[in-house]
Structures are given as structure tokens and as C-alpha cells.
Amino acid sequence: MVPFAAAFVCPSMPVLDSAAATILVVEDEPTVCELAAEVLIDEGYRVITAADAWEAEAILARESIDLLFTDIDLARNTNGLSLARRARSLCPDLPVVYTSGGRACLPAGEAVTDSVFLPKPYRPSQLVGLTHDILRVAHLHHA
């Protein structure tokens, strides 16, 4: 297990593929955040984590992110839906995956276009499969 603090930015992690995608995981429940980060790091992705939308926005402003994976109800009364809208204003093609334990689906019109909803509890294999599929499609569009 990676200690939680080490999951924030892991520049010392060996990256097998120099084009490894960077995923921003925004989740205010530390154990859930750590699990999501670990499973994605194990797949070779570079992972940055944030506990609320303010922290995530600061990361989006300074980092090149390939996929945003955000819980909807976040710490400090921040919200993954508005975070995704602001992220898309910075990067119009950014793939977005929402998650939530309190909702079965997203109301139409609240989510950004072409986003995906993964209800909690999700299996790590679901997160990995979804991430691979989304980034493969995004890569094909930019190739």
C-alpha cells in the first residue's frame, strides 16, 4: 500500500511509457481516493489527486491533464459538476468521468457533454476498463 501522502504526486514512480496519460482523481474520501489512484498507477498512468474542487482547479491550471475522474459531492461544499464545467472551459476536449455513491444517474443537463457516470461502489476493474476505453478514443481523435 502506498501511504496516502505519497499518492498525491509520484514523480519517482517508474513510467514505462513516456506518453503515459495523466489522470486527475478528485475524491474527498481518502480510502476511496487512494484505491482509485493505486489501481490507475498500477496500470502505468500518472495520477494526481485532490480532495475538493478548489484544489483540483489549481492542479488543472498548472498541469496537463488527460482525464478528469471526479466525485460529485466534494469536501468544502465544492461540487464535481461545476468543477467539470470549469475544466472544460480550460480544455474543451477533456474527457470527464463522474462518480457518486448518492446518485443512481446524472440529471440531464447537469453533466458536461460526452461525459461518463460510474456509480459507487465501482470495482477497480470497471475504473481501469473505462479509463482505457476513454483514453484510447481520445487518442484516436488526436492522432
Residues with Cβ within 8 Å of 11's Cβ and at least 6 positions away in sequence, in order, are none
Whole-number pLDDT of residue 19: 61
Burial of 137 per CB tally in 10 Å (0-12, 13-18, 19+): exposed
Is the model's pLDDT at 6 over the cut of 70?
Answer: no
Question: Hey, where are the domains in the chain?
Answer: 4-142
In the DSSP assignment, the letter for residue 18 is: T
Half-sphere exposure of 89 (CA within 13 A, CB side): 7
CATH architecture for segment(s) 4-142 = 3-Layer(aba) Sandwich (3.40)
Question: Cell digits for 70?
Answer: 471526479
Question: Cell digits for 56?
Answer: 483540483
User: pTM score, two decimals?
Assistant: 0.85
Is the model's pLDDT at 3 over the cut of 70?
Answer: no
pLDDT digits over 48-67, tens only? 999 999 999 999 999 999 99
